[in-house]
Chain A
Amino acid sequence: DQQVKQNSPSLSVQEGRISILNCDYTNSMFDYFLWYKKYPAEGPTFLISISSIKDKNEDGRFTVFLNKSAKHLSLHIVPSQPGDSAVYFCAASPNYGGATNKLIFGTGTLLAVQP
């Protein structure tokens, strides 16, 4: 059962425009959400995160929005650059009441930014 879902396997955007990547989750016990970016032949790199007590977090060109009632989060990249072309993974951390680094990942969205 996929608890974190990224329903768009791929997305193509023109350079300079906004990229919006979406993610849905089913487990209300998730209390922390992250986005990772992955280039081919490299491991994922942390991009941005958001706690469940917030609904928005910004870092430069990247903004993550969280809608807890809809169990939905999105990553906005403005403006999009060709170097942003990569696979983006949404991840969630379950609150088990103890310390853990366990993450539940979505299946990823391949973003292609066209020059």
Chain B
Amino acid sequence: KAGVTQTPRYLIKTRGQQVTLSCSPISGHRSVSWYQQTPGQGLQFLFEYFSETQRNKGNFPGRFSGRQFSNSRSEMNVSTLELGDSALYLCASSFLAAKVTDTQYFGPGTRLTVL
């Protein structure tokens, strides 16, 4: 069974540009969450989607947005990039998210560098 895939793996952008990252969950999984990992900050929760609906959103500015498609694939978008947006962006999927004990599986991440 294929794991969570994220594309692209590496991305270099300049300040002011926008970027779209993609996440394909494990087949059959309907819940997708996104996290930002920066040195010294650990993983910060961005948002969570289940069956195309955003269920939770973290404390990030409106420049960060996301969506989920009917096939459970998810995208996140960051507009007007800032230097501080340089980070590893991780996507995690789980089967239902009906209960917190539903194991989440992480993808390898997309490394975004903003110059």
Contact = CB atoms under 8 A, between A and B. Distances in A.
B48 A100 contact: yes
Contacts, number: 70
Contact of A106 (B33, B35, B42): B42
A105 B100 contact: no
Given A32-B100, A101-B48, A45 B42 contact: no
B26 interface: no
Interface in A10-28: none
Contact of A101 (B4, B40, B41, B100): B100
A26 B99 CA distance: 22
Given A100-B55, A102-B56, A42 B108 contact: yes
A93 B100 contact: yes
Given A102-B45, A108-B42, A43 B107 contact: yes
A99 B106 contact: no
Contacts of B44: 105
A32 B101 contact: yes
Interface in B57-115: 58, 90, 92, 94, 97-109
Given A43-B107, A45-B106, A49-B101, A100 B43 contact: no
Contacts of A101: 31, 33, 48, 92, 94, 97, 100, 102, 104
Interface of A: 4, 6, 31-32, 36, 41-46, 49, 51, 89, 91, 93, 98-108
